[in-house]
């Protein structure tokens, strides 16, 4: 969810906070004629690549992009562009996304931005990651292009990420209750803390929801940007962490939030020639 400049659509069809870098209406997967990566075997660590077709995510009306489309070339107003997932960890099984025990990217500066925005009211304790294995199931991580409703001449592009959290009961991972939330900090256009300017630090389309009668603890984002901005390249880089709003307070009276493991991900759109 993003700002008035970086469209954060919890769904490409519905701009969320960050979803408005530039507009939005989803093209079907059949039109995403870019590079694709098939679903792969279970990861040996905390992440499972479990790519699914487009489906409801449960956070508002709309669906995920679906699958794992890593790049797409397209034209807009006679100029060629490419939208692609960022190579976050080129040597890993999935170069476009990496698990982190704690926020670590100095460009994102997760802990500083979080403390500056909410340190007066919350205390954030970093647990050093999740204890189990295979807790984060990545069900959609794809680039897309879309037409904003009511503006057929405009074009948006971006990428989505749909993560379902399933705790490992053998290792005392935090239970999937309504105390679980997500916090996302972004380096891109707009403010860094992605909370829709609310009076708490939590990402709106994340936590416990219901999808067709089944309770699911998940995160969904589909930020986009309007194509044709003055910048030749626009980049989105995020650190997204599972957290627990404990409902308790410390001796100073601040609300206590535990920060568990998270993911670093991103994408960029680039003008291929001027």
Average pLDDT score over the chain: 86
Please report, to the nearest 10 degrees, the dihedral formed by the alpha carbons of residues 237, 161, 3, 103 taken in order. -40
3-state class percentages of the chain: helix first, strand second, coil last, to nearest 5? 5, 45, 50
Beta bridge partners of 243: 181, 259
Give long-range contacts, CB 8 A cutoff, 24+ apart: 175-178.
176/208, 176/215, 176/217, 177/208, 178/207, 178/208
DSSP letter for 193, please.
Answer: B
Residue 26: pLDDT over 60: no
Q: Which residue has the higher pLDDT, 23 or 148?
A: 148
What's the pLDDT at 43? 38
pLDDT tens, 185-222?
999 988 999 999 999 999 999 999 999 999 999 999 99
- pLDDT-based confidence at 24, cuts 50/70/90? very low
- pLDDT-based confidence at 95, cuts 50/70/90? confident
Task: Using alpha carbons, select from 65, 49, 100 the residue that is nearest to residue 239.
Answer: 100
What's the pLDDT at 230? 83
- Report the 10 Å Cβ neighbour count for 187: 18
- pLDDT-based confidence at 30, cuts 50/70/90? very low
For residue 43, what are its two tokens? 């990861």
Type and span of the H or E element at 112: helix 110-118
What's this model's pTM, rounded to 2 decimal places?
A: 0.86
């Amino acid at each position: 969810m993003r700002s008035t400049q970086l469209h954060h659509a919890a769904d490409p069809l519905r701009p969320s906070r960050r979803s408005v870098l530039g507009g939005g209406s989803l093209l079907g997967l059949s039109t995403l004629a870019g590079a694709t990566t098939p679903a792969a075997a279970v990861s040996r660590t905390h992440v499972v690549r479990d790519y699914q077709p487009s489906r409801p995510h449960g956070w508002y009306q709309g669906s995920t992009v679906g699958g794992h489309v890593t790049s797409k070339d397209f034209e807009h107003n006679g100029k060629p562009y490419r939208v692609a997932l960022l190579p976050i960890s080129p040597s890993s099984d999935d170069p476009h996304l990496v698990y982190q025990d704690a926020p670590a990217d100095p460009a994102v500066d997760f802990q500083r931005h979080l403390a500056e925005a909410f340190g007066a009211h919350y205390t954030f304790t970093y647990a050093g990651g999740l204890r189990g294995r295979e807790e984060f199931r990545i069900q959609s991580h794809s680039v897309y292009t879309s037409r904003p409703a009511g503006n057929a001449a405009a074009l948006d592009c971006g990428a989505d990420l749909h993560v379902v959290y399933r705790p490992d009961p053998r290792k005392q991972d935090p239970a999937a209750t309504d105390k679980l939330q997500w916090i996302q900090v972004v380096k891109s256009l707009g403010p860094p803390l992605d909370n829709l300017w609310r009076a708490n630090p939590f990402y709106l389309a994340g936590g416990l929801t219901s999808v067709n009668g089944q309770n699911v603890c998940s995160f969904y984002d589909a930020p986009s940007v309007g194509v044709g901005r003055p910048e030749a390249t626009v980049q989105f880089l995020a650190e997204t962490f599972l957290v627990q709003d404990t409902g308790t307070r410390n001796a100073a009276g601040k609300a206590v939030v535990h920060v568990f493991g998270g993911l670093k991900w991103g994408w960029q759109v680039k003008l291929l020639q001027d």
